[in-house]
């Protein structure tokens, strides 16, 4: 390790402050995210976790309050059980059972269910309140005719993000029963573009985030199922080489990764693209020093990490994903400017700290 005069330290106290601030109430720059509040909770708690500062950076009663609030979003609907985005869709009045769906919008949501389960695992919840049968029933009811998954049952709102979240939950449950895996794989394969990345929907331009969700989904399918699929789910050698080349080409001269060909570097794509390279066994092709230098410039003066240098605000999404990218870099043996940049190792498929991913899998696979 060496000390680089040009790269600042990772501003840990500022990043903790930013995320705790957002946990108590979203700043004006972030109010548009209120409809996906559970996801914000995941990025904030996940940031504290990756920094290894969850215990020292928060009090036990705060962590208990976060846990209680997440469980308040657990809802049982006619299609099964899962987590809603936040309390804004609840119409039940005080005294009524808020864990029962009260209107068509108050249903479990796949993306929020994934973020809730990881957040609860970070908080070391035993997940005993999860009803496995009801959760599987909810997930199955989201699979559409074309193989994709909708965010909520009956919705046409589906893309590769929801497929990823559904697959991550199946993996943690260690139960893939009742879903049509070949059809889901076929949908993912139809999203592959000529460049070697994946678009959000079939025929869309390749994008770093959806490329990650596609590859992570394909590589999460259990070995026993993989071997029976025709065509195979995992990439052929030719496809892999094409994807690796496209992903490597997204690292720009600024040091960070861009999300699409010809675009500017953006901190979140440092995770989406480098985690994709890890999944394909090509993480060693990331220029780690350049990523760290880019992240150093993306740090916001009042805490948090912005999407690019010079932005006028940071947000929990870019803060968490930047740290997740740095975690992968640490695991690959990146040369760090100093110890402040050293982070906890991350599971690239589940996008959670390694021991959190193990916790989630152990608790969920034993759920009743």
Distance between CA atoms of residues 119 and 141, nearest Å: 24
CB nearer to Zn ion: give 140 or 263.
Answer: 263
In the complex, residue closest to Zn ion by CB: 268
- Of 193, 196, 237, 233, nearest to 216 (Cα)? 233
CB nearer to Zn ion: give 307 or 363.
Answer: 307
CB nearer to Zn ion: give 49 or 266.
Answer: 266
Name the 3-class secondary structure at 124.
coil
Distance between CA atoms of residues 349 and 352, nearest Å: 8
Q: Please report how close the Cβ of residue 350 comes to Zn ion at its closest, in angstroms.
A: 20
- Of 114, 203, 224, 227, nearest to 166 (Cα)? 114
CB nearer to Zn ion: give 151 or 207.
Answer: 207
Q: Please report how close the Cβ of residue 43 comes to Zn ion at its closest, in angstroms.
A: 12
Distance between CA atoms of residues 306 and 213, nearest Å: 22
Q: Please report how close the Cβ of residue 235 comes to Zn ion at its closest, in angstroms.
A: 25
CB nearer to Zn ion: give 16 or 325.
Answer: 325
What's 201-227 look like in SS3? CCCCCCCHHHHHHHHHHHHHCCHHHHC
Name the 3-class secondary structure at 306.
coil
Q: Please report how close the Cβ of residue 307 comes to Zn ion at its closest, in angstroms.
A: 4
Q: What crossing angle do the helices spanning 316-331 and 267-279 adopt, rounded to 10°?
A: 40
Q: Please report how close the Cβ of residue 365 comes to Zn ion at its closest, in angstroms.
A: 33
User: Rounded to the nearest 5°, which phi and psi values hold at 38?
Assistant: -65, -35
Q: Please report how close the Cβ of residue 343 comes to Zn ion at its closest, in angstroms.
A: 19
CB nearer to Zn ion: give 106 or 266.
Answer: 266
The token pair that represents 326 in the structure block: 């740095």
**Which DSSP helix (H) or strand (E) runs through 347?**
strand 346-347
Distance between CA atoms of residues 42 and 93, nearest Å: 27
Interface residues toward Zn ion, by CB under 5 A: 266, 268, 307
């Amino acid at each position: 390790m060496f000390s680089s005069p040009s790269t600042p330290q990772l501003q840990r106290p500022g990043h903790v402050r930013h995320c705790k601030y957002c946990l108590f109430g979203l700043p004006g720059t972030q109010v548009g995210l209120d409809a996906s509040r559970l996801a914000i909770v995941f990025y904030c708690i996940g940031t504290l976790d990756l920094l290894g500062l969850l215990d020292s950076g928060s009090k036990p009663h705060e962590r208990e309050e976060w846990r209680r609030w997440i469980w308040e979003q657990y809802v049982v609907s006619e299609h099964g059980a899962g987590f809603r985005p936040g309390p804004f869709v609840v119409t039940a009045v005080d005294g009524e059972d808020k864990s029962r769906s009260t209107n068509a919008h108050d249903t479990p949501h796949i993306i929020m269910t994934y973020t809730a389960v990881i957040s609860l695992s970070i908080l070391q919840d035993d997940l005993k309140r999860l009803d496995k049968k009801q959760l599987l029933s909810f997930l199955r009811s989201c699979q559409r005719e074309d193989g994709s998954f909708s965010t909520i049952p009956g919705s046409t709102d589906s893309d590769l993000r929801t497929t990823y979240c559904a697959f991550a939950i199946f993996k943690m449950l260690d139960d893939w029963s009742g879903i049509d895996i070949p059809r889901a794989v076929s949908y993912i394969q139809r999203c592959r573009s000529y460049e070697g990345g994946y678009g959000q929907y079939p025929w869309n331009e390749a994008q770093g985030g959806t490329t990650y969700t596609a590859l992570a989904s394909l590589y999460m399918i259990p070995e026993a199922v993989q071997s029976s699929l025709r065509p195979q789910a995992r990439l052929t050698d030719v496809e892999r080489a094409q994807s690796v080349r496209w992903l490597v080409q997204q690292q720009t001269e600024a040091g960070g990764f861009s999300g699409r060909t010809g675009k500017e570097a953006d901190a979140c794509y440092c995770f989406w693209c480098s985690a994709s390279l890890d999944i394909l066994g090509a993480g060693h092709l990331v220029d780690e020093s350049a990523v760290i230098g880019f992240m150093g410039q993306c740090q916001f003066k009042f805490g948090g990490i912005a999407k690019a240098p010079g932005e006028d605000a940071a947000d929990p999404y870019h803060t968490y994903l930047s740290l997740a990218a740095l975690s992968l870099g640490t695991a690959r043996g990146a040369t760090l400017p100093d110890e402040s940049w050293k982070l906890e190792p991350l599971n690239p498929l589940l996008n959670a700290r390694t021991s959190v991913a193990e916790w989630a899998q152990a608790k969920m696979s034993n759920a009743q």
